[in-house]
Structure 1
Amino acid sequence: MVYAFKFDKVLAMKEKEKETAISEYNEALKRFEDVAEKLYRCLKQKEDYEQIHKQKLQLGLSIQDIRYFQQFMTNLERTIHHYQHLVIQAREQMQAKQAKLAELNIEVKKYEKMKEKHVQTVLQTIRANENKWMDEISIQQFANRRN
């Protein structure tokens, strides 16, 4: 006799939602890592150029080179600001996906726990029925021996 868990379809649907949430979270994490890596590269580039500029200033630079450096740094600062904004957005999206994933994970665990309890209840019922039948058979055998 096969007993079906009454929420099997719901559990399967929740597991699919969880898998989708996992993939969405992984995509958001990758986007965050990519943007953060670009920001890091820009900051590193700024630091390197400032160091080079400092060395060149000690040796002497033309006004044209100083203007060029200032313009380059201004553009680099804009780029850094842009990437900082993107990192903040990507982090927020990643955290939202992580929260959704945690929520779905809890729901799946609830349904799995319900299924586990259902299986235990069914097994107890089967054992009780088997014991009842065994008692019935024993009583009939005892009654047949007396006759």
Structure 2
Amino acid sequence: MHYQFKFDKILNLKEREKDEALSIYHEAVKKFEAAAEKLYDLLKKKEDMEAYQSSRLVAGLPVQEIRHHQLFLGNLDKTIDYYQKMVINTRKQMSFFQEKLMEKNIEVKKYEKIKEKDFHHFREEIKYTEGKQMDDISIQQFMNRGS
């Protein structure tokens, strides 16, 4: 007797959906990491620029160069603000896709548990049927001896 899970197609579909959700989640993680890394680089650049400007101010710095540095830092601050928002958005997306992945994982686990219980029931039924057949064979052999 061959075992066939009645919800096998649904289980396969749920597994594909889970794999797809995993792929989307990994893509969201990559986007988050890229945005966070860019933000880190910009913050490091700003810190380095401010340290450079401070050291130059001690030695004396022309006004034109001070204006240039202030303009550059202003633009850098705008870029940092943009990437901070991007990091927040990509983190939200990553969390959203993580929740979706967990939901898909739970669905797959439910169907796997159903399959496990169904297979266990199938095996018990086979054991029962085999036992019954063995009893029938034993009765027939006993009856044949008695004849």
- Which TM-score applies when normalising by structure 1? 0.99
Cα RMSD (Å) of the superposition?
0.6
Q: Is 1:94 aligned with 2:94?
A: yes
Counterpart CA distance in 1 for 2:135 and 2:43 is 81
Q: Which consecutive unaligned segments of at least 5 residues does structure 1 have?
A: none
CA distance in 2, matches of 1:4, 1:133: 22
Structure 1 residue 3, shift from structure 2 partner: 2.9
Counterpart of 2:36 in structure 1: which amino acid? A
Distance 2:99 2:13 in 1: 19
> What CA deviation, in whole Å up to 9, does each residue of 1:52-99 have, x standing for no partner?
000000000011011111100100000000000000000000000000
Gaps of 5+ in 2: none
Instruction: Tell me the residue number matched to 2:117.
Output: 117
SS of match in other structure, 2:6: coil
Stretches (4+) displaced over 3 A: none
Secondary structure at 2:92's aligned position in 1?
helix
The residue type paired with residue 75 of structure 2 is: N
Match of 2:126 in 1: 126
Q: Percent identity?
A: 54
Q: What does residue 29 of structure 1 align with?
A: 29
Deviation of 1:23 after TM superposition, in Å, equals 0.4
